[in-house]
Structure 1
Amino acid sequence: MMRNLMKLNYILSLTAAMLMAVAGADRPATAASNQQDTRPLRSRTDDKRATQQDVIKESDETLRLDVDLVDVVFTVVDRNNRLVPGLKQEQIELLENGAPQEIDYFEQNTNVPMIIALVIDVSGSQEFVLSQEKDAAESFFRSVFREGKDYAAIVTFRGDTYLAQGLTSDLKRLADSIRRIRRERIFRADEGLQSSGTSLYESIYLTIDEILEGKTARRVIGSDEVKRHAIRRAMILLTDGQDTTSQRSEKEAIDRANRSGVIIYSIGIGDNFRFGEVNTRALEELCRQTGGRAYFPQSESDLRKAFDQIVEELSSQYVLAYRPSNKAQDGSFRNIDIRIRGVDGLQVIHRKGYFARGR
């Protein structure tokens, strides 16, 4: 009887939480929420029933790249993995599928705005590191974020994905939403109540679909062609890299990022900084394919250093845009290669390519 009473209390609490989520769903994305997890992006069960036309919730509002113009954000490091600033456009050689391309736009990052999504795993596996993650994330935004110029959103995920803070240029709102984040509550299996799993790849896909390319992002970026391509879009993942319940695959998440020019950075962290629990292969692949880098801290000090390195990298990026010489609208994947003329031993880090527009 006691067990049944506990289940009933849980069901009543869950129902109340769902009603609160529905009530808050129509709030503007930039409004600060009074509590976390009030705005789910989509549930796994909804995806199971979705048709192909329903997969992208905001398809009519999604930001589309110009038919011809392709943008690439990149960083350059030397043999000692130190970032290389100060390069000029004439030093950049750009190839698409091996064919040289003419660069139409080139800019160092100093004046280039950013749209950032911080995506935090709040599943049970992050129980003992979430507090340190929150402190480091808040410090990160205070270091790199420029109010009035940059925009950011805070997303949490476990089995489902939740919008903790929509895109905003208000640093206080970001800090407040980070402080409100809490981990998933895990119930004992012998009580019939279990953890909801972890949907990493689905969270990446949804965050790009509905935040980094959603209606608010469209308003932020505006309609001017050059302005749109002078925007950097990045996602920072805080997770152990494990995925147990996604309806999306790793490849689908990578392809979605490359279609939108979103760079993924990951901080792979296991509970109590246990490195063996981290899926390093998956996180490294997500970052390698999209032009970011993966970090694997093994202490709180390492965690802060990882954020510091991301700050440094975001402050040393270059942006270029070009119109491909291949005008075919065949939906094919086009490989991108960037090289530096006249200097040996440099490595260019960028997304591996993009998908051409289909007919």
Structure 2
Amino acid sequence: MKGFNMIRAKELICFTAILMGVTSCQNDSVTIEQLVEASSSNIVIGNEDRRLSADNLNKVFYQKVGQLRTDITFSNSGLKKTSTCSAALVNKSFIITAAHCVYLGKTNELHKNTFFYPGIDGFNNADKGRYPVIRVYHPDNYDNMRPYSTNDIAIVELGAASDGSLAGSKVGTSGISGKEYFPEGETLLIGYPGDKPDARQFFETGCEVDIEVENKLVMDCDVFSGQSGSPIFVYNAKYDNFYIHGVVTSESTMYKENYGSFISKERYKIFNSIFEGKFSTENEFEEQWVTKKIEQDQLVRIIVKNTCHNNEARVALNFKNLDDEWVKKGFYSVGAGERRELAVSRNGVFYLAAKNRSWKSIISGPHSYELPRSGSQKFKKYSVNKYGDYVVNVPCY
């Protein structure tokens, strides 16, 4: 964007040192599966300035930002797609993101079965778990058929993970701030751009952000689909910390600039009322907000974690699919240290067999089933007494 000043070299060196924690200055998956990001933002301005968080940022800092993922199966075609956005933890059970991230395309139909993955670094490396999205709060005048950056912002409530943990309690939370103006200070964007490898987190420093009108932010930061909802941080020298002042929302190909939604003082008050459990649509705020429940189907999601960090594992399943039919599949290859969702079922009983790469049994049992191209195999029975994620840890052998 014209008229923006370059950041000073000294400031950038100091900022990078802060992020590195050095100084106090601060696959057998569905072959037709496609990735569909939830945002329309596709503008990289000037040079490519985004860098991998895992290689450059302090993990304690970047793991508080994560990815929203929604698997969508289209009933008329059977195509499976994944919608993605970015978000940041601002409370032990709440994230901040763009409002359009909880809706299906340009419709007013809410997504269902959406999960938040904090600090995910590649889809098979979700070591901080995943958390179901259960409720959204956003401005009453937000309309997903005609989304505008001024009100394209949301607070989203998360349920507990399958182990009962809350996301913010596990990885921590980022600070938020509400002001009448966009503050001075070094900027930082963190998110999951769709033009990069799936579920890899990237960041950018030093781009210029300012308020254009009302609560609309305009910026020369590089943005691509999937970064919608990315937190816009600004460094506060007084408190030696970074605070979120807005989220990424959209772009303009005509003007070659990207946009965000601002956290005003009014919105900061609304956020706190949500966090404290005091929010009501009858609250006398200047900006009216609404709340909507996000549906989660009652499903058992069978996940395999290969606890061996040197060798792959091979896993087979016998489970009931969503059509209530018993299905035998495998052997799947699960990479060293990989965590992979292999099946989704409404039935709490399934059977699993695992072998190492030399085809020696790691997990077996008294139940014999014929597998295509693999013959009779011995399976172990598993019983699940509640819906949600069920993780089978495959040991080293």
Q: Indicate the structure with greater strand content.
A: 2
Q: TM-score over 0.5 for the alignment?
A: no
* TM tier relative to shorter chain: under 0.3
Q: Indicate the structure with greater helix content.
A: 1
Structure number with larger C-alpha Rg: 2
TM-score normalised by length of structure 1: 0.26
